[in-house]
């Protein structure tokens, strides 16, 4: 609950003015999917494409954030909820700064993703379901996490001992078991182009 003595301070430069200068409509690209589905890879690839177009972008990665902002959180259901709540608030600040922010988090629960979505204007939250079969994620298992989860070394692991609730109506679905990274990026860029989020083209 917010203290009644805390008052929101309006900035001298508006979000709309920052967007006009950056040449893009800021938003959050909320990548969700199982561990190993390719969320971070896609988020960083689309961020590189934005950089190539001279547009302001940033990636909030699950592991990176847990090294700092959320270092005090574990992987219980309660801590997962708080993890996503904090990321939602940080993402909102990035959007206000005129940045297209990509978040790469499992964010396994629909209700938590819905609560984050409600913190944004309708057009500012773009849910991207990085779809990939569990067996394919396990085959990749770059970090060896699924093996440890199967052995019982890692408790509360999404997809093994903790549930993942896929989006029912995401703005974008990318099946990384079928599409390449380049094809996934193209699909996202086409969405952003078609819905007027980006206008500044890459320098030749």
Q: Tens-digit pLDDT profile for the chain (204 aa)?
A: 556 666 556 667 777 777 878 888 999 999 999 999 999 999 999 999 999 999 999 999 877 777 777 788 887 878 888 888 999 999 999 999 999 999 999 999 999 999 999 999 999 999 999 999 999 999 998 788 999 999 999 988 998 988 999 999 999 999 999 999 999 999 999 999 999 999 755 444
Answer for the pair 62, 159: CB distance below 8 angstroms, yes or no.
no
Structural domains in the chain plus CATH codes: 15-194 (3.40.50.300)
Binding residues for ATP: 33-40
The reply to whether 107 belongs to the active site is yes
Query: What pLDDT shows up at residue 76?
Result: 80
Please name which of 60, 64, 26, 55 lies closest in space to residue 43, comparing C-alpha atoms: 60
Query: What pLDDT shows up at residue 11?
Result: 67
Query: What pLDDT shows up at residue 178?
Result: 96
Query: What pLDDT shows up at residue 22?
Result: 80
Task: Choose, from 76, 107, 162, 180, the residue flagged as catalytic.
Answer: 107
How far is residue 17's CA from residue 138's CA, in Å, rounded to a whole number? Answer: 45
Q: How far is CA 77 from the centre of its chain?
A: 19
Region of 159 on the Ramachandran plot (φ > 0 left; ψ -120 to 50 alpha; else beta): left
Cβ neighbours around 28 below 10 Å, total: 27
3-state secondary structure of 73: coil
Binding residues: 33-40
């Amino acid at each position: 609950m917010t203290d009644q003595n805390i008052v929101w301070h309006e900035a001298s430069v508006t979000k709309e003015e920052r967007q006009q200068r950056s040449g893009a409509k800021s938003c959050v690209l909320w990548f969700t999917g199982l561990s190993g589905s390719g969320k971070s890879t896609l988020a960083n690839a689309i961020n590189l494409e934005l950089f190539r177009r001279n547009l302001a972008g940033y990636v909030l990665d699950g592991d990176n954030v847990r090294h700092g902002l959320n270092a005090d959180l574990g992987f219980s259901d309660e801590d997962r909820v708080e993890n996503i709540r904090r990321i939602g608030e940080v993402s909102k600040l990035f959007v206000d700064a005129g940045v297209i922010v990509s978040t790469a988090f499992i964010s396994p629960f629909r209700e938590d993703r819905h609560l984050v979505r409600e913190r944004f204007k309708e057009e500012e939250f773009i849910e991207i379901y990085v779809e990939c079969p569990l067996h394919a994620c396990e085959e990749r298992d770059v970090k060896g996490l699924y093996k440890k989860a199967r052995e019982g070394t890692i408790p509360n692991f999404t997809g093994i001992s903790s549930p993942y609730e896929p989006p029912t109506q995401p703005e974008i679905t990318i099946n990384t078991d079928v599409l390449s990274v380049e094809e996934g990026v193209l699909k996202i860029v086409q969405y952003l182009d078609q819905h007027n989020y980006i206008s500044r083209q890459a320098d030749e």
